[in-house]
Amino acid sequence: MTGPQRYIAHLDMDAFYASVELLRYPQLKGLPVVIGGRKRHAGEVTETDLPLAQWPRLKDYTGRGVITTATYEARAFGVHSAMGIMKAAALAPDAFLLPADFDRYRHFSRLFKAAVREIAPVIEDRGIDEIYIDLTDIPDIDASTPTDPMAGARRIAQAIKDNVRQATQLSCSIGITPNKLLSKLCSDLEKPNGLTLLRAQDIPERIWPLPVARVNGIGPRATQKLHDLNIITIGELAQTPVTTLMQHFGHRYGVWLHETALGHDERIIETERLIQSVSRETTFEHDLHVKRDKQLLGETFTRLCQQVAKDLSAKGFVGRNIGVKLKFDNFQTVTRAITIPYPTGDARVIRQVAGQCLKRIEFSRKLRLLGVRIGTLTPYSPEQNTTALDQGDTLPLF
């Protein structure tokens, strides 16, 4: 590690979606709860006053939805995010099933980030439930005591946790280390409501015993390849010659694996991250026929285009590259895109151009998934030229 000591924190809200739901349904606290399957609709009646025996359970679900998140009690059964709900039902049939309420989650996301900024304003937004924080310039961050070499960092981290809880009634876990890589690892070590502090000299004892799969950036295929080389832990990866890693993984990834295992990461906190694209997609409850289900497909297609336009507006962007994504009943995925002359954020234009993309696809099978995206984004400016709707063009396929 070169240069002055850095203090980088990674804050991760604990089972965020599920925890937000437990504020609405405190009677479910301590019970296995799964969020997913569908989104909550505006004005939908909640189950607040129902006896628990009448609440929806995983075993009652039919469809192809996936889990958004689960409480720690549900995770104890092997249930996890991105798992199919029908598969989860086999593991935890009596777990409670709640629809996702993303408007509510975004509200609590804004609350916890504002609470952090009151203490430490330099943050990098990594999503709805996690952020990086640069604590390096916070007064007394490097304070120590005879028994706690990171007493200053511990005090500030606890103040952040307390402020987040006061603002949201929710807990979070924080890891503080010299860099983003280690902080991401450490925030997960003592969940829930964890606080882990680590110095560079602590890496062999605290990090090296962990499995390589715990590192963000080492996926299932790389993990299996490392296992085939008898590299199971991060420590074993650190002790593997970089030339060996380069031989099996290529120069760039091999060097990255070596540096990562040693705990090296010089990435800075990016306070403003330019998004690359905006997309929306939906997986249908059952496969849809392009002709027999034309009305439903058309309504869904229009809604996705409107949602993309709304997301663009909320983020302050317009875009030029508009595309569609389809997954057929045989799991084949097809994408098409068109780049238009001037940027747009108009839902009608997005729908029109995305419809032209659809005309480039052969529909010989039923549809399982439909998505719309827009890329090549630029910040919106009232003065810039934008693509206008050509009323003479034909409507999309759906």
Are 255 and 281 in the same domain? no
- Residue 239 maps to which CATH number? 1.10.150.20
Q: Give the pair of three-digit tokens for residue 140.
A: 């007394």
pLDDT at 62: 84
Question: Which residue bears the tokens 């694209």?
Answer: 277
- Residue 37 maps to which CATH number? 3.40.1170.60
Please give the annotated binding residues, written as ranges.
12, 129
pLDDT at 83: 85
Please give the annotated binding residues for Mg(2+), written as ranges.
12, 129
Domain boundary residue, one of 50, 75, 100:
100
- Residue 372 maps to which CATH number? 3.30.1490.100
pLDDT at 217: 86
- β-sheet with 67-70: strand ranges across: 67-70, 33-39, 96-100
CA distance 131 to 222: 26
Catalytic residue annotation? 130
pLDDT at 1: 42
Whether 245 maps to a domain, the answer reads yes
pTM comes to 0.69
Alpha helices (runs of H) in the chain, residue ranges in sequence order: 16-24, 72-75, 85-91, 102-117, 151-168, 180-186, 203-206, 220-228, 234-238, 242-249, 251-261, 294-315, 347-358
Are 47 and 119 in the same domain? no
Residue 174: which residues within 8 A CB-CB, separation 6 or more?
A: 9, 10, 11, 12, 157, 160, 161, 187, 194, 195, 196
Whether 389 maps to a domain, the answer reads no
Bridge partner list, 196: 175
Are 147 and 233 in the same domain? no
Query: Could you list the residue range(s) of the whole structural domain that residue 256 is in?
Result: 210-262
Whether 172 maps to a domain, the answer reads yes
Give tens-digit pLDDT for 307-365: 999 888 877 889 999 999 999 988 889 999 999 988 999 999 999 999 999 999 989 89
pLDDT at 45: 47
Which residues of the chain are modeled with pLDDT < 70?
1-4, 38-49, 272-274, 381-398
pLDDT at 40: 59
- Give the CA angle between residues 332, 338, 341 to the nearest 5°: 170
Closest CA to 264 of 168, 152, 180: 180
